[in-house]
């Protein structure tokens, strides 16, 4: 019985050693895919929070004091240039105009009589000049009264969209009181803030004299259907944020954009001689990124890298790698630091051909 137990134990040990040997053999036979970083010109898309403004956004205010007699438009309505929007009770201003016209007629008659007398050398030329001046003053009073009467009709200064009504019919208005706001949304100005370092890259680039084309990502996370161009840069930096404001202009033929909206500007930034590696070759430890690099003994060594930018499926490496390094692409969770491996090298151009890369 004892011999039988010993025999069973030896058999189990032999099986265990055999299994270990096969596993070790299989592990040694496993080949891992390895490649190198590649250097090329490409570009990245940066996004900036933005504010959307109408090219013309004004306040409409009462030019005269009086009761608001009629409102001819409604909130959110499209109005045409010259369209009547508000009407202030004109009775007082009509009376002023009639009075001014009557006084002008009297002054005209006196001037004509004086001229006849002057032609007959009955009165002096000075008296004729004074009569003419009085007549001119009366005509100016008529023009002024007509202007005040015209202010009782408030019309749209340009095509646009009316905002919220600040008053109602029958309201007693003071001179200068806010009635509503009007926005011209045919084109939109989109403002976004750019950090100083990125501004310097932009302003010193070879394409600084060309208008930079940008896209607008709206609040619903969809792209606006019209491209925009960067047209102006403000004159000074904000000392508190270190940013400077850019302004892009977008056509708005469908009237989708409104004054006061927010979104994000998407701007393509060129990168010259960028070093690229696939994202799948990296792993994170405590918010730091690492790769496995093969040493001269074909052992994998963990190395930290600094990522400067992110592309679809790719990272732009700022520090930590050289173009001669061999980087482990697959099986990074199956190897240990310092472990010697068998590998198969594939050219980086071939690796990139299987990835989605936006390059210039």
Find the mean pLDDT for residues 85-114.
87
Question: In this predicted structure, what is the pLDDT of residue 311?
Answer: 84
In this predicted model, what pLDDT tens digit does every residue of 314-330 receive, in sequence order?
Answer: 999 999 999 999 999 98
In this prediction, residue 15 has a pLDDT band, given cuts at 50, 70 and 90, of low
**Is the Cβ–Cβ distance between 13 and 21 less than 8 Å?**
no
Range 32-42+273-357 classified under CATH 2.40.420.20:
yes
Q: Where are the domains of the chain?
A: 32-42+273-357, 46-55+183-272, 64-175
In this predicted model, what pLDDT tens digit does every residue of 269-292 receive, in sequence order?
Answer: 878 788 999 999 999 988 899 999
Residue closest to 216 by CA, chosen among 37, 21, 103, 51: 51
Question: In this predicted structure, what is the pLDDT of residue 305?
Answer: 93
**Is the Cβ–Cβ distance between 152 and 93 less than 8 Å?**
yes
Is the confidence at residue 347, as pLDDT, over 70? yes
More confident residue, 360 or 236: 236
Residue 110's H or E segment, with its range, is helix 91-119
46-55+183-272 folds as Elongation Factor Tu (Ef-tu); domain 3 (2.40.30)
Distance of CA 197 to the CA centre of its chain: 19
- % of the chain with per-residue pLDDT over 90: 47
Question: In this predicted structure, what is the pLDDT of residue 8?
Answer: 53
In this predicted model, what pLDDT tens digit does every residue of 181-237 receive, in sequence order?
Answer: 999 999 999 999 999 988 888 887 756 667 889 999 999 999 999 999 999 999 899
Superfamily grouping for domain 64-175: Helix hairpin bin (1.10.287.470)
Average predicted confidence (pLDDT) for the chain:
86
> What is the longest distance spanned by two Cα atoms in the chain?
164
Domain 32-42+273-357 and domain 46-55+183-272 have a common topology:
no
Question: In this predicted structure, what is the pLDDT of residue 12?
Answer: 55
Find the mean pLDDT for residues 50-54.
96
Residue closest to 74 by CA, chosen among 173, 161, 184: 161
Is the confidence at residue 357, as pLDDT, over 50? no
Is pTM beyond 0.85 here? Answer: no
């Amino acid at each position: 019985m004892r011999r039988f137990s010993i025999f069973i134990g030896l058999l189990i040990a032999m099986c265990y050693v055999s299994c270990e040997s096969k596993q070790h053999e299989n592990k040694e036979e496993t080949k891992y895919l390895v490649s190198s970083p590649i250097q090329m010109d490409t570009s990245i898309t940066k996004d900036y929070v933005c504010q959307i403004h109408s090219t013309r956004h004004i306040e409409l205010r009462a030019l005269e004091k009086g009761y608001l007699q009629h409102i001819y438009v409604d909130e959110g309505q499209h109005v045409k240039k010259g369209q009547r929007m508000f009407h202030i009770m004109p009775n007082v201003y009509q009376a002023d105009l009639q009075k001014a016209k009557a006084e002008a007629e009297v002054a005209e008659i006196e001037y004509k009589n004086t001229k006849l007398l002057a032609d007959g050398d009955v009165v002096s030329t000075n008296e004729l000049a004074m009569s003419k001046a009085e007549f001119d003053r009366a005509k100016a009073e008529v023009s002024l009264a007509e202007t005040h009467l015209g202010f009782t009709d408030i019309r749209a200064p340009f095509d646009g969209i009316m905002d919220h009504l600040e008053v109602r019919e029958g309201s007693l208005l003071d001179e200068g009181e806010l009635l509503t706001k009007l926005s011209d949304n045919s084109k939109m100005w989109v403002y976004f803030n750019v950090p100083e370092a990125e501004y310097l890259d932009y302003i010193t680039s070879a394409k600084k004299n060309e208008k930079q084309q940008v896209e607008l990502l709206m609040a619903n996370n969809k792209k606006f259907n019209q491209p925009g161009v960067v047209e102006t840069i403000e004159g000074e930096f904000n000392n508190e944020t270190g940013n400077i404001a850019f302004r892009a202009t977008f056509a708005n033929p469908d009237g989708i954009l409104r004054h006061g909206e927010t979104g994000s500007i998407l701007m393509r930034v060129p990168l010259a001689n960028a070093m690229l590696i696939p994202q799948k070759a990296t792993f994170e430890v405590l918010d730091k990124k690492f790769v496995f690099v093969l040493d001269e003994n074909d052992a994998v060594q963990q190395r930290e890298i600094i990522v400067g930018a992110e592309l679809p499926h790719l990272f732009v490496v700022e520090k930590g790698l050289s173009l001669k390094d061999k980087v482990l692409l697959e099986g990074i969770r199956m190897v240990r630091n310092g472990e010697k491996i068998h590998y198969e090298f594939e050219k980086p151009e071939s690796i990139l051909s299987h990835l989605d890369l936006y390059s210039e």
